[in-house]
Amino acid sequence: MKILVIGGHGTIGKQVVKTLMEKAEIIIGGRTQGDIVVDMADSTSIQNMFEEMGAVDAVVCIAGEAKWGNFEDLTEEDYYVGLKSKLMGQVNMVRIGQQYMKEGGSFTLTTGILADDPVVRTASAAMVNGGIHSFVKAASLELKNGHRLNVVAAGMVEDAYEKYKDYFPGHNPIPMNKVVNGYIRSIFGKGNGEIIRIYD
């Protein structure tokens, strides 16, 4: 089994890769490092990546950025960061990737708790997460060749606690093994169109 993990060197990605490596051949995609370099904010780069790599059994995206900032300060351009990277980057991963996905393969995207339980400074980031949830529910209805599409939405993960704790007062850091299991469930289970929420 061949699995592409975009963001496989990131905080969440590296833990997911560690577990997946016991089960499959892993190709790590990243913007600055990895087996294959890709900028998910650029659809030509995504197309080139799939062309170079060929068919896969699963695509897991644990990457994508959005701009955080006070609502009164966020500019139109600031919103486009999240729209181009985290939202359209993941949409394009599925839209383009379906041509390279083997029969019965799966896509797993990543959002986060902000879609349902936003905190201040996240008007853009929360909006993008919510958009991805709706995309997953709708696009999963139309996938062909037995393909599946799910999204893992985690709360603030324990490995990022120091970085994010001031933004998420009172939130419980999510144990990494629970987050990793969300990806395992999406890839190796049979669910389709699921929003796999891991909020506590």
Residue 5 near ligand NAP by CB under 6 A: no
Please name the residue that has the structure tokens 């708790």: 113
Binding of ligand NAP by 124 (CB under 6 A): no
**Helix 11-20, helix 176-188: angle, nearest 10:** 60
Kindly report the CA angle at 12 between 11 and 13, in degrees rounded to 5?
95
Which residue, 85 or 140, has its beta carbon nearer to ligand NAP?
A: 85
Residue 176 lies near ligand NAP (rule: CB under 6 A): no
Please say which residue, 9 or 178, places its beta carbon nearer to ligand NAP.
9
84 near ligand NAP, judged by CB under 6 A: no
Among the listed ranges 16-24, 32-40, 101-109, 116-124, the one in contact with ligand NAP (CB under 6 A) is 32-40
C-beta neighbour count of 171 within 10 angstroms? 17
Instruction: Let me know if 89 is exposed, middle or buried by CB neighbors in 10 A (0-12, 13-18, 19+).
Output: buried
User: Which of 80, 160, 192, 193 lies at the binding interface for ligand NAP (CB under 6 A)?
Assistant: 160
Determine the Cα–Cα distance for residues 108 and 150; give it in Å rounded to an integer: 5
Count how many Cα atoms sit within 13 Å of the Cα of residue 74 in the half-sphere of its side chain.
19
Contact code string over 39-58 relative to ligand NAP, x by CB under 6 A: xxx-----------------
| Residue with smallest beta-carbon separation from ligand NAP | 10
Q: Which stretch binds ligand NAP (CB under 6 A): 19-27, 28-36, 137-145, 187-195?
A: 28-36
Q: Minimum Å distance from CB 35 to ligand NAP?
A: 12
Among 3, 49, 60, 63, binds ligand NAP (CB under 6 A): 63
Nearest CA to 108 out of 48, 153, 65, 149 is that of 149
Among 60, 62, 91, 109, binds ligand NAP (CB under 6 A): 62
Nearest to 194 by CA among 118, 85, 106, 84: 106
Look at residues 193, 119, 131 and name the one whose alpha carbon lies nearest to residue 155.
Answer: 119
What does the binding site for ligand NAP look like in residue numbers (CB under 6 A)?
Answer: 6-7, 9-13, 30-33, 38-41, 62-65, 85-86, 110, 112, 154, 156-157, 160, 164
